[in-house]
């Protein structure tokens, strides 16, 4: 299967409707994903990125229908992570001497993954290869977006930026173009991808986007490595990234809690009603950490100005589900957000202090020392939770 992108550029990747988890178990893909590979046929023939390893044979068989493999002049590996390089071993069996263009770090990663001494050609920003018919491919290093080896490349003449992971989404579609899919679904997958994968690299990303824009290259199409190809106003996703990279937040407070006998849940619900009482405009969302999808939670945290995290005390600490999401939050390094903790207890009640410490360690500004509730909340405790919510919203 191929999909025409523009002129002599075809998509030859794989649409993976079945994918429900990505990066092992770290990222939920409710709407599947795609692994985008591109075949460019000009004076020279190029393959840009491949697909995830389980689809390697299918991918190469498909590619054989499009081109005699020995006629491929260059392979471009924008990124060595297995979802894009996984079919290289299968492909390179047929064309072992064909040069592979990637960054210096890309060579290290590809050798690390596959232990092969392929014909690597390291490239850096500004390097280019002439591919005939007056066109060239220009390379742009995208270090730490999101791996040390990441790069993009730009096809002159057709004005296509092959951006790899940047601007992508885990979103399967038979239509593969941004103007042909449900816009709300597309937006939600884009922001989830940014929140869960790119948040730690926001400051680098802003600089890199400005660097690329300062080159004033006309961009007609952004061909990502996951999800749809941006051909209708492709700059819209660049503009979104610029706003997301600037410590993004909406008028939203997200309440996360885990609960054993419903006490902490009752606290969460009454804190929410206290917030609503004093601010009817703020968006309030509640998630049971143990039940909700963690990547969806992370997306909602990304959108929030404040998060409130609740856990009952279990043993001397917090529940394992709460600890898990806090570990993830710490790694993502959110900035410019406030937080507070709450939780029920039956004897010593360490959870709230522990949560407060973890939130501070993760870079959140603590609004207060949190609220604890001994046993299940009675009327007095419920009133305190409502007052706590009101104070938070102020």
The residues assigned a catalytic role are 23, 79, 81, 83, 146, 165, 193, 226
Closer residue to ligand FEO (CB): 31 or 146: 146
Alpha helix stretches (DSSP H) within 41-178? 56-66, 82-85, 88-94, 104-114
The nearest distance, CB 216 to ligand FEO, in angstroms, is: 28
- CB under 6 A: which stretch of 81-89, 111-119, 131-139, 341-349 binds ligand FEO? 81-89
- 96 DSSP 8-state letter: T
Q: How far apart are CA 274 and CA 253, in angstroms?
A: 12
Contact partners, residue 243, CB within 8 Å, separation at least 6:
none
Contact present, 233 and 221 (Cβ < 8 Å) = no
Which pair of structure tokens corresponds to residue 137?
A: 């491919």
Where do the H-state alpha helices sit in 2-119? 56-66, 82-85, 88-94, 104-114
For ligand FEO, the closer CB: 83 or 269 = 83
Q: Which of 73, 83, 90, 300 binds ligand FEO (CB under 6 A)?
A: 83
- 252 forms bridges with which residues in the sheet? 283
The CA distance from 246 to 241, in Å, is 9
Which of 81, 90, 189, 258 is the binder for ligand FEO (CB under 6 A)?
81
Nearest to 328 by CA among 68, 23, 72: 23
Torsions phi, psi for 126 (to 5 deg): 95, -20
**Which one of residues 226, 285, 372, 384 is an interface residue with ligand FEO (CB under 6 A)?**
226
Say how many residues touch ligand FEO, by CB under 6 A.
Answer: 9
Q: How far apart are CA 183 and CA 193, in angstroms?
A: 15
Residue 148 CB-density burial (10 A; 0-12 exposed, 13-18 middle, 19+ buried): middle
User: For ligand FEO, which is the closer residue by CB, 50 or 351?
Assistant: 50
φ, ψ of residue 57 in degrees (nearest 5): -70, -45
Shortest distance (Å) from residue 333 CB to ligand FEO = 18
Which residues from 370-389 bind ligand FEO, rule CB under 6 A? Answer: none
Residue of 328, 324, 325, 279 whose CA lies nearest to 305: 279
Task: Kindly tell me which of 197 and 306 has the beta carbon lying closer to ligand FEO.
Answer: 197
What is the C-alpha separation between 258 and 254, in angstroms, rounded? 13
Beta carbon of residue 250, minimum distance to ligand FEO (angstroms, whole number): 27
Q: How far is the CB of 33 from ligand FEO (least distance, A)?
A: 9
- For ligand FEO, the binding residue among 31, 79, 208, 265 (CB under 6 A) is 79
CB of 40 to ligand FEO, least distance (A): 20
Query: Taking the complex as a whole, how short is the minimal distance between the CB of residue 230 and ligand FEO, in angstroms?
Result: 16
- Does 141 participate in binding ligand FEO (rule CB under 6 A)? no
Judge whether 85 and 77 are in contact, CB under 8 Å.
yes
Give the separation between CA 309 and CA 316, rounded to whole angstroms. 17
The answer to the question of residue 37 lying near ligand FEO (CB under 6 A) is no
Segment interacting with ligand FEO, rule: CB under 6 A, options 76-84, 239-247, 288-296, 311-319: 76-84
How far apart CA 248 and CA 63 sit, in angstroms, is: 41
CB of 225 or CB of 313, closer to ligand FEO? 225
- What's the min distance (Å) between Cβ of 338 and ligand FEO? 31
- The reply to whether 225 sits near ligand FEO by the rule CB under 6 A is yes
Nearer of residues 22 and 342 to ligand FEO, judged by Cβ: 22
CA atoms within 13 A on the CB side of 166: 35
Task: Give the contact letters, 165-184, x = binds to ligand FEO (CB under 6 A), - = no.
Answer: x-------------------
Q: Which residue is nearest to ligand FEO (CB)?
A: 81
Q: How far is CA 298 from the centre of its chain?
A: 10
**Nearer to ligand FEO by C-beta: 109 or 313?**
109
Residues in region 319-338 near ligand FEO by CB under 6 A? none
Copy the structure tokens of residue 330.
């710490």
- CB 247, min distance to ligand FEO, A: 23
From residue 183 to residue 222, the character string flagging contacts with ligand FEO as x (rule: CB under 6 A) and all else as - is ----------------------------------------
Distance between CA 25 and CA 246 in Å, rounded?
28
Residues forming the site for ligand FEO (CB under 6 A): 79, 81, 83-84, 146-147, 165, 225-226
């Amino acid at each position: 299967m191929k999909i025409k992108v523009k002129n002599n550029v075809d998509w030859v990747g794989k649409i993976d409707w079945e994918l429900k988890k990505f990066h092992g178990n770290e990222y939920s893909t409710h709407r599947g994903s795609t692994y985008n590979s591109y075949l460019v046929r000009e004076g020279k023939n190029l393959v840009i990125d491949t697909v995830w390893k389980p689809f390697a044979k299918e991918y190469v068989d498909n590619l054989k229908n499009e081109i005699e493999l020995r006629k491929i002049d260059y392979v471009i590996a924008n990124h060595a992570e297995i979802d894009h390089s996984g079919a290289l071993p299968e492909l390179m069996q047929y064309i072992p001497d064909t040069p592979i263009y990637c960054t210096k770090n890309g060579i290290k990663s590809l050798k690390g993954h596959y232990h092969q001494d392929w014909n690597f050609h390291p490239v850096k920003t500004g390097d280019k290869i002439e591919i005939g018919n007056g066109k060239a491919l220009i390379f742009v290093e995208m270090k730490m977006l999101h791996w040390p080896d990441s790069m993009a490349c730009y096809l002159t003449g057709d004005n296509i930026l092959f951006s790899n992971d940047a601007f992508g989404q885990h979103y399967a579609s038979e239509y593969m173009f941004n103007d042909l899919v449900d816009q709300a679904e597309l937006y939600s997958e884009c922001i989830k991808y940014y929140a869960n994968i790119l948040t730690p690299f926001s400051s680098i990303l802003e600089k890199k986007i400005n660097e690329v824009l300062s080159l004033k290259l006309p961009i007609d199409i952004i061909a990502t490595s996951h999800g749809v190809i941006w051909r209708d106003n492709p700059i819209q996703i660049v503009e979104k990234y610029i706003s997301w990279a600037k410590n993004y937040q909406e008028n939203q407070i997200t309440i996360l809690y885990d609960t054993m006998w419903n006490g902490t849940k009752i606290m969460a619900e009454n804190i929410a009603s206290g917030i609503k009482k004093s601010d009817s405009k703020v968006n309030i969302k509640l998630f049971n950490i143990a039940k909700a999808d963690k990547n969806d939670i992370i997306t909602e945290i990304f959108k929030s100005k404040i998060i409130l995290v609740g856990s009952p005390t279990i043993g001397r600490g917090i529940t394992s589900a709460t600890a898990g999401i806090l570990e993830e939050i710490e790694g993502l390094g959110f900035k410019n957000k406030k937080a507070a903790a709450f939780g029920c207890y039956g004897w010593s009640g360490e959870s709230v202090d522990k949560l407060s410490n973890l939130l501070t360690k993760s870079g959140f500004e603590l609004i207060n020392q949190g609220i604890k509730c001994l046993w299940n909340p009675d009327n007095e405790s419920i009133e305190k939770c409502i007052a706590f919510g009101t104070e938070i919203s102020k």
